[in-house]
Structure 1
Amino acid sequence: MADNIARVLADAIATDPNRPLLTWYDDASGERTELSGATLANWVAKTANLLVDELALGPGGTAAVLLPPHWQSAAVLLGCWSAGLTVQPAGSPDTEPPGEVDVLFAAIDRVAEADAWSATDRYALALHPFALPLREVPAGFADYVTEVRAHGDHFTAYPPGGPDHTTLRARAATRAAELGISPGDRLLVDVDRYPDPLDWLLAPLSAGATLVLCAHPDQARLADRQSTERITHTLP
């Protein structure tokens, strides 16, 4: 198997696919969503199959991801990487200025921003707590949740010679060490402070940690959440 991001996710869930891998909180809305490794892998596989089977994309393809940290954003990013695409993710300091990409994913409140990108295919996300579809789909976009559900639950990783993410994986491992993330950690991340997917997604997964992601965190709930979620490490 190529040294790709699909291996990062596969390794993260190998021990116990049914344990909570990613738990999402938004203290502004009161949302809490918990995904096992198997459930997240299912969303990732569906996304990769959408890209490969529906859009005929693969290694060498490009994607812009105009999404905030969120569990659905994790599925989109990991799906794009698993399909071998080069990704321009929101929140990363390495993201290039808007240009031409094969596919674009945007939160519903960022569809106007998406006009700066030239993309053959565009998907909008409501980021609804229960992954409900959009009530109204913006012109020029398809609804990600509606479209992705029609695709397969498993994605076969590319053989050697497929997408090579060696540099990206090395960066994730280095960043995990910088952030003090250890194998087996239950990691609490304030995603408002750490919006880069390298920090809130790839570095923890590459280190073998499970994730508790919090948007708009209520500091009054911090101690209780650390206890309830059995947090072993919090990003400073």
Structure 2
Amino acid sequence: MERVCKSFKRIFVKIILLSLSILGLIFTNFTKKLIVNSVINITSGEIWQNNKPVLCDINVDIKETELVYIIGKTGAGKSSFLKALYGELTLKKGVGTISGFNLNKLKKRNIPNLRRSLGIVFQDFQLLTDRSVLSNLLFVMGASGWKNRSLMKKRAEEVLSLVGLKNKTNTMPFALSGGEQQRVSIARALLNKPKLILADEPTGNLDPETSEEIMQLLIAVSKEQNAAILMATHDLSIIKAFPGRLLSVQEGTIKELSEVK
């Protein structure tokens, strides 16, 4: 009887220890989900262009998966802010990081690596007109360090499928509508699985219906890729239809607004 009791105690202790181990794993995974990393963090930043400051006292923090708009009058500094984020302009003062890169200490040789870590979508699509849709993506992949041709083709087809263009691989850009060209641009931005998509007026050349489709697509693929979106826009109807955080470039700095006025 005593031997049976000891055996039962050992089994009971093992069950307790196993249960605690499982609970520990569950808690660890749960807390990991609660911790959301910053993809952009700038404190007391100052951006310069042509040897003079264009934006001062910048304090911006953007987390993974967030949708953030940046608005402001033409010439206020929206594009300057985006250019600083992908290394075209310098963060002269303050502290800034983007996708793990230190903007204060960013060297020219590291700028291509920074840009490869971002997804960038432009207003004017910037597609190579003499190459097919698939060839456009493969060209960018080759330029950004991809080597294996079969893996390149597989990834290109994956992102084209994500944006609804899997049957357009051999189509030339001139044969696509404006909305389809922007879809190719979005597919190109997703190639390296970025945690941040920078979109500079991505609906600026599109009609309202197509603009809405592109926004729905951007939001869907960002969720799929677990990426944040920072989007410069003048289109207040888009902001109202697809609510997100709102940053305004005004008076030489960037302020957060609670609503569109």
More helix per residue: 2
Answer yes or no: same fold by TM over 0.5.
no
State the TM-score, normalizing by the size of structure 2. Answer: 0.23
